[in-house]
Amino acid sequence: MRTSSIVNLDEARDDRRLRDCQSRLRAVLETNRKALARLFQSGLIFSRAGARLGRDLLLAHQHLLKAADLLSRLCESSCGARRTADAQALYAQVQSLLARTSELSARSDGLLARGR
C-alpha cells in the first residue's frame, strides 16, 4: 500500500514568497553596497549631488537592513502568521524599499557615468 503525502499549497506559496523576497533583498543590499563603494572610490561623494545621493543610499541601506530583520522574524513565525494583515503590509513595505533602492542605485550609476 502506497501512502501519499498531502502538501498544503498555502504554506508552499508562503514559503516561496518569503524566500523570493529574502533573495531579492540580499541582491538589492549588495547592489546598494556596491553603489556606495563606487561613489566613495570615484570621489564624487564630495560633490553636492554625490553627498545627497550617498546620504539617500545610506538611509535606504538602513531601511533595507531593518526590513531584512523583519523578514527573518517573519520566517521564524508560523505559516499562518505570514498571511496576516501585518505580514502583507510588511511585504508591501519591503517591495517599496526594494524599488526605491534600485532607483537610487540606478541614479548613482548615472552620476558616476557623468562624473567620468
CB-neighbour burial class of residue 47 (10 A; exposed 0-12, middle 13-18, buried 19+) = middle
pLDDT tens per residue, range 47-84:
998 899 899 889 888 888 888 888 888 787 765 566 67
pTM, two decimals, is 0.75
Half-sphere exposure of 42 (CA within 13 A, CB side): 21
Chain center to CA of 61: 9
65: phi then psi, degrees, rounded to nearest 5 = -65, -40
Res 7: pLDDT: 77
Whether 24 shows a pLDDT value over 80: the answer reads: yes
